Amino acid sequence: MKFHYNICPRNCYDTCSIISTTRNGVLISVEGNPKQEYTVGKLCPKALDDVKKVYSPQRIRYPMRQRGRYSGFWERISWDEALDQIAAKILNLKEHYGTSLPLALNKYSGNFGVLHNAIEGLFTGIGATTRAAGSPCWSAGIDAQTLDFGTFFCSDPLDMANSKLIWLWGVNPAWTAVHQMPIIFDAIDRGAKVVCFDTHFSATAARAHQYIQVRPGTDGLLALGFAKVLLEENLIDSNLSSYTLGHEEFLHYLEAEISLDNCSDITGIAVSTIRELALEYGQTHPACIWAGFGLQRYTNGGQTLRAIDALGALAGHLGEQGGGVQYAQFETWRFSGAIQNPPHPINQTERLANINRFSEEALNYTDPPVKMLWISGRNPLSQDGNLQQWKKLISQLDLIVVSDLFHTKSSEAADLFLPVTTHYEHWDLNSSYWHYWVGANEPAILPVGESRSDLQIAWDVSSRLNTLKPGSCTFPTSGNEKETLLRELGPQMLDILGLKNPEEILNGPVRAKFPSTTWENRSFTTPSGHYEFFSSQAATAHLPPLPIFVPPLNPSLDAPLRLMTPHHHSTINSQVYAIEAHSTDFILHLAPEVAQRYDLVVGDRAQIWNKSGQLEVVIQPQSGISKDVVIIFQEHVKATSPLNCLIGTPLTDMGQLTLGGRGFALNETFVNLRKL
């Protein structure tokens, strides 16, 4: 038996450190690494299926070619054939258009490991191409925190155990970050109170002391209501002038514009409750807010997070051990970037299409048009909005390449399928955007079938390009995965990790040497060096300089119900594959009153629809759900119509500043409902 260090590479808070066991070269079990302080030897149920996933009979083991898109007639081909077809197409397009812009890459976080950026490196090495830019996930919140603090940087999640009051706001760690829950329970055991704010009574709410049902998209106003109470009750940090900018303007706004009655009407929370909670928050130290990604997936998402940040600042909770407003961090991701930055072959800039409107923007490019698309670490046809535009884009493409582990909704439209390795079959380097641990992932077994790592594929394509036309790609044509990994640990990252040389990362995961509490000395990285209630950067970007309330979108008469599609405990978007989907029905969770209004009872079949599409659902009334929403959790369903057929492409208010594209306002989706 042999043991190996692995790291779960999903786009997930927990990014667990795994110890895998092999016998005679076969992966037999996976367990959490007890030495990593956040994973502490435990894995979530998603990772517990990894062995099954690696050896699943449905896994694609060979390069495949589809005879006709959507036909399902896949034939096995050799890597040589696949690489020849790809390289020939790339060179042909470059020659025909005189530029490589017709080549598009749509890649995101299907595997968040650093070496997966090789595909980006390959495209950079070919020339200026069309890329999906920005993020479908967290953009608005990142911009908001960047405006307020200078960057987004959460405390070590273990610090939450020191809190006396924990507000879990729009986050459901019981399903999406299970390792945070024991830390929260430890705080509870030491006397902390936990309040959960959400639109529905979640599995996390069930473990909290109190649940506050917030009308969707009004969280920012609620934060401002709390701030108003702090102002009235004189619970404002007396040192604000020493480390913040614009607090007077903000207080003036609260005084002039925020009324608790109005706040109560809009948020759906009683004035007495707002007062009670605000007093607790103002009087309890340390008090921590964890703002989830869900609450910023609105057209006002950035403003919402800015209002919550401002509340934390006003009460003096910033920089407090066990306090703060926690969102996420990218400070432990300061890799050298060598892999995605080979020498640029020509001086031409890339075309950056917002990842959340990729199909629309790619269709708008005409000079030259997009002709070839590579999809890596993504499944846009099950996750993106505006599927009609996607269909149109697909029909204009000469070649679609999908690299993945299993067939997906997106591979249905592909011409070529390149089988990739799992994290048990290649070297990689992984950080979390929540905890502070960074580690190397080592291969435990040989690649299954003929699968190859993204890095190997990038080398192979570059090699083929250079064989056919020497000098056509500057990305390396071969290499060593482990050495490539070590090169990602440059001087800055070594310093962050407290390592002398990169090889030390191979001895097991390392915690970044940051203090556990962020902003402890209240010195911020904003232009003023202060926490900015008033942000000139926001004003420059045509955003409100103060964290004022901007209402979310309103439902219309044709689509009166807001549809939410939060994560299910069994999946993370499309990153856990539907190899064992049992359910054939989408379950629509809704408040009993709403069900009654539509004359629906449990088990009824119904249809939801809007101008984007329609979906058949089974009704499940449930208490604790806001009357303004209906919910379908993103779990695997064997259905012909995907859940995203109902989704358009509304964008969040922020995201441009730090990520180069506004985020996906997924929660601004509205539907109508009728009994079938």
One-letter amino acid for residue 430 of the chain: N
CB of 185 to other proteins, least distance (A): 5
Tokens representing 280?
Answer: 């607790």
Q: What angle do CA 113, 115, 116 make, to 5 degrees?
A: 70
End-to-end CA distance of the chain: 56
Q: Beta strand 17-23 with 2-7: parallel, antiparallel or unpaired? A: antiparallel
CB of 212 to other proteins, least distance (A): 8
Tokens representing 573?
Answer: 């978007």
CB of 43 to other proteins, least distance (A): 7
Q: Is 338 left (phi over 0), alpha (psi -120 to 50) or beta?
A: alpha
| Measured distance CA(303)–CA(296) in Å, rounded | 8
CB of 602 to other proteins, least distance (A): 14
Q: Looking at beta carbons only, is 35 or 42 nearer to other proteins?
A: 42
Q: Residue 393 to residues 119, 388, 390, 663: CA-CA distances in angstroms?
A: 21, 9, 5, 21
Q: Looking at beta carbons only, is 185 or 406 nearer to other proteins?
A: 185
Tokens representing 552?
Answer: 């979310």
Q: Which of 551, 539, 550 is nearest to 657 (CA)?
A: 539
CB of 191 to other proteins, least distance (A): 14
Q: Beta strand 351-354 with 2-7: parallel, antiparallel or unpaired? A: unpaired
Tokens representing 402?
Answer: 């999908």
Q: Beta strand 669-675 with 561-564: parallel, antiparallel or unpaired? A: antiparallel
Q: Which of 567, 563, 565 is nearest to 594 (CA)?
A: 563
Q: Looking at beta carbons only, is 178 or 393 nearer to other proteins?
A: 178
- Residue 119: phi, psi to the nearest 5? -65, -40
| Measured distance CA(343)–CA(460) in Å, rounded | 18
Q: Identify whether the C-beta of residue 573 lies closer than 8 Å to the C-beta of residue 11.
A: yes
CB of 160 to other proteins, least distance (A): 14
- Residues of the shown chain interacting with other proteins in the complex, contacts defined by CB under 8 A: 29, 31, 42-45, 48-49, 51-52, 174-175, 178-179, 181-182, 185, 196, 201, 203, 205-211, 213, 569, 623-624
CB of 296 to other proteins, least distance (A): 24
Which residue's entry shows tokens 């069309």? 130
CB of 171 to other proteins, least distance (A): 14
Q: What angle do CA 518, 210, 224 make, to 5 degrees?
A: 55
Q: Looking at beta carbons only, is 65 or 193 nearer to other proteins?
A: 193
Residues contacting residue 281 through CB under 8 Å, at least 6 positions apart: 165, 167, 226, 230, 287, 311, 315, 317
| Measured distance CA(326)–CA(54) in Å, rounded | 35
Q: Looking at beta carbons only, is 213 or 565 nearer to other proteins?
A: 213
CB of 176 to other proteins, least distance (A): 11
CB of 177 to other proteins, least distance (A): 10
- Residue 653: phi, psi to the nearest 5? -70, -25
CB of 494 to other proteins, least distance (A): 32
